[in-house]
Amino acid sequence: MSTRRSNRGGSTRGTSFTRRAARRLALEGPRRVAGPSGALHKGRSSQTRHPPEGRHGAVVLLFLAGFVCLSGRTGYLAVTERDFLKEQGEARSVREVTIPVHRGMIFDRNGEPLAVSAPMGYAWVDPQQTRLSPADLQRLANVLGLTPEVVEQRYRSGSKRFAYLARRLAPNVVRRVSEAQIEGVRIGREYHRFYPAGETTAHLVGRTNIDDVGQEGVELAFDSYLAGAPGAKRVLRDRSGGTIKDLDYVRDLDYLRAPKFGRDVELALDLRLQYLAYRELKTAVERNRATSGSLVMLDADSGEVLALANQPSFNPNAWHSRGVHGVRNRAIADLYEPGSTVKPLTVLAALEAGTHTPETEIDTHPGYLRIGGKTIEDPSNRGRITVSTALAKSSQVAISKMALAMSERAVFDAFQRAGFGDYTGCDLPGEEIGLLSAADLDKPIGRATLAYGYGVMVTPMQIARAYLMLANDGIRTDLTILRDDVRVRASSQPVFARRDAEAVAEMMRGVLAPGGTAPRARPASYTAAGKTGTARKVNFGAYDERAHVAFFAGFAPAVEPRIVLVVVINEPRGVGIGGGTVAAPVFAAVVERALRILGVPPNGGSLAGPAAGARATERPT
């Protein structure tokens, strides 16, 4: 109080004192002073708004020290404990999840689906955590359409932590299982393969197993392409387990596990032609009570497989229904001695060698030929016949004489160039390359029998490839089951002179003409060229007189062919057993309808007159 009173005096000295005091107060802060009564009281309020400089500095220093400590600790942890902390952080919020992929579809050349993966369900339990009561088993059995015993057996036969109760459950069954709300029974989702065309395309398309892995046909040949590969990604999860952010794909040893989705495959197959082929072959096998049969249809221009059918077949949607017997793709896996179907190749070799022309006459009198103690015979004595007639009538004697007039390797080389003893390029798994041996070429009987199709083993697909070469004027092409396969064009190469191939193709038309071995192979509205074959089968080391294989191979139309077709009927037991009786009608029926489906205008055939099939002046301009 005294201080304030003295200041109020108003002297200059007093004023300067007040300023000094104020400055000191500003620096030192308010302090308590003693009044007259000796009691302490606060200084002026204006003094409290200006804290002392030392205290301010201390606070700043304190904050700075705290900041430095925290930064230092952070830096220390970031450097020394980085991996541990990162791991712990990720363990709490980052999860790896699998990205499922489903198998690609298979289509025919017109976009018709041949194999489709559809979502299905499966029911499973954890046997260690789940105890199914008899009532639960009964309810499950009712829902799944099984007996309680089967459900219980599956429940007990699984691993300790996982047991399938049922797989391939349709969506409505999955819904019923969910609605049953049986404790511990869980539902999973998986994809399964379905084949809408069923038996019709079974051998070409193939099948997958229950785990969706290719087992046969295209499904096996293109398994990795169709299946793709599931990926894995890291995701950030919140406390409730929901994903809130995708982080990255999982890396395994620098391999990024991004999903590879299964890709679709487009086949060269035409489902319309395939069904036609399947139906006609099945009818022929049943009608002739044959053991089995095969049919291969190729696009004469591109070498694409338009149809491939076998009997017996199987249902790939329930593939175990016919066992292994029906699963075999006989068109590429069964080997036959081709019999007379190779005679056009022998004639081609003779034309190339210059030993014969189509008009060259060969004496087949007296209807048989003895070579080294063996007898080769024709059904009758045909006397002197031209090479064209020898082919049309399938004379063993004439063909044998032609082979013996050529060099030792001429016929063998022709077969080799036609593709016998080699893969056809169709890439189907299980394909056989057959047998073409030069071991007996030094023996006349070996050369003679080879010339009419014995001592060589081929598949129906190899015969089709050889006839494709004949239809293509001597250009051999790899076969393909894919549409627009660029590899095929690259594989094309001329293996015979065009003139010779054309001459042989022309002679083959006589086979279907009246007087040939297969007038029944003539389509009603189209010209065609081909050759029959009837080969005896070997049983127990010797040729069986009662077991035959009937062939017909050819192409149509005869000029500018569109399709090449091979029909094989194995061990027919009907009225006829020969290629001209058993296989030729199948050729005629399939060619007639197939060319109509392909939009080829009729150009002759049996309805046009008896000589139309042998007419040589129908080449379109």
Partner 1 sequence: MVLGIVAWAGIAVAGIETARQSGEMRDLFQRLSTNQEVQDGLLAEYRLLLLEQATLASYLNLESVATDDLDMQFPERIRRVER
CB closer to partner 1 out of 246 and 286: 246
Minimum distance, C-beta of residue 112 to partner 1, in the bound complex (Å): 7
What 3-state DSSP class applies to 307? strand
> Which of 494, 511, 405 lies closest to 451, judged by CA?
405
Minimum distance, C-beta of residue 574 to partner 1, in the bound complex (Å): 17
DSSP 190: E
Q: Which of 14, 57, 75, 171 binds partner 1 (CB under 8 A)?
A: 171
Q: Does 97 bind partner 1 (CB under 8 A)?
A: no
Q: Does 261 bind partner 1 (CB under 8 A)?
A: no
Q: In degrees rounded to 5, what are phi and psi of residue 553?
A: -130, 140
SS3 of 120-144: the string is EEEEEECCCCCCCCHHHHHHHHHHH
CB closer to partner 1 out of 272 and 328: 272
Minimum distance, C-beta of residue 106 to partner 1, in the bound complex (Å): 11
Residues in a beta bridge with 297:
307, 565
Write the interaction track for partner 1 spanning residues 213-252; mark x where CB under 8 A is met and - where it is not: -----------------------------xxxxx------
Q: Does 116 bind partner 1 (CB under 8 A)?
A: yes
Minimum distance, C-beta of residue 273 to partner 1, in the bound complex (Å): 11
78 is written with which tokens? 């970031």
Q: Which of 106, 121, 169, 200 binds partner 1 (CB under 8 A)?
A: 200
SS3 of 369-396: the string is EEECCEEEECCCCCCEEEHHHHHHCCCH
CB closer to partner 1 out of 421 and 604: 604
- Residues touching partner 1, count (CB under 8 A): 27
Q: Is the backbone of residue 357 left (phi > 0), alpha (psi -120 to 50) or beta?
A: beta
The set of residues, in sequence order, having a beta carbon less than 8 Å from that of 246 and lying 6+ positions away, is 233, 234, 235, 236
Span 344-383, contacts to partner 1 by CB under 8 A: none
- 436's enclosing H/E stretch is strand 435-436
Minimum distance, C-beta of residue 267 to partner 1, in the bound complex (Å): 14
CB closer to partner 1 out of 196 and 601: 196
Q: How far is Cα of residue 176 from the mean position of the Cα atoms in its chain?
A: 34
> Which of 470, 552, 453 lies closest to 506, judged by CA?
470
Minimum distance, C-beta of residue 244 to partner 1, in the bound complex (Å): 5
Minimum distance, C-beta of residue 510 to partner 1, in the bound complex (Å): 22
CB closer to partner 1 out of 421 and 523: 523
Minimum distance, C-beta of residue 498 to partner 1, in the bound complex (Å): 33
> Which of 331, 342, 499 lies closest to 417, judged by CA?
342
Q: Is residue 345 within 8 Å of residue 368, measured between CB atoms?
A: no
Q: Does 118 bind partner 1 (CB under 8 A)?
A: yes
Q: Which of 51, 148, 198, 444 binds partner 1 (CB under 8 A)?
A: 198
Beta strands in 21-157 (DSSP E): 33-34, 40-41, 94-99, 106-107, 113-125
CB closer to partner 1 out of 153 and 243: 243
Which of these is catalytic: 117, 340, 394, 400?
340
Q: Which of 136, 152, 199, 431 binds partner 1 (CB under 8 A)?
A: 199
Residues in a beta bridge with 482:
267
Span 573-592, contacts to partner 1 by CB under 8 A: 592
Q: Does 259 bind partner 1 (CB under 8 A)?
A: no
- Whole-angstrom distance, CA of residue 599 vs CA of residue 593: 10
Q: Catalytic: 178?
A: no
CB closer to partner 1 out of 313 and 396: 313
543 is written with which tokens? 């040729």
CB closer to partner 1 out of 200 and 388: 200
Minimum distance, C-beta of residue 21 to partner 1, in the bound complex (Å): 28
Q: Does 525 bind partner 1 (CB under 8 A)?
A: yes
Distances, alpha carbon 225 to alpha carbons 193, 242, 481, 487, in Å:
15, 33, 15, 17
Q: Which of 165, 218, 271, 463 binds partner 1 (CB under 8 A)?
A: 271
CB closer to partner 1 out of 198 and 429: 198
- 539's enclosing H/E stretch is strand 529-539
Q: Which of 51, 52, 113, 148 binds partner 1 (CB under 8 A)?
A: 113
Q: Does 279 bind partner 1 (CB under 8 A)?
A: yes
Q: Is the backbone of residue 367 left (phi > 0), alpha (psi -120 to 50) or beta?
A: left
135 is written with which tokens? 């009532």
Span 178-197, contacts to partner 1 by CB under 8 A: 194, 196-197
Give the footprint of partner 1 on this chain (CB under 8 A).
Answer: 112-113, 116-119, 171, 194, 196-200, 242-246, 271-272, 275, 279, 523-525, 592, 607
Active site positions, annotated: 340
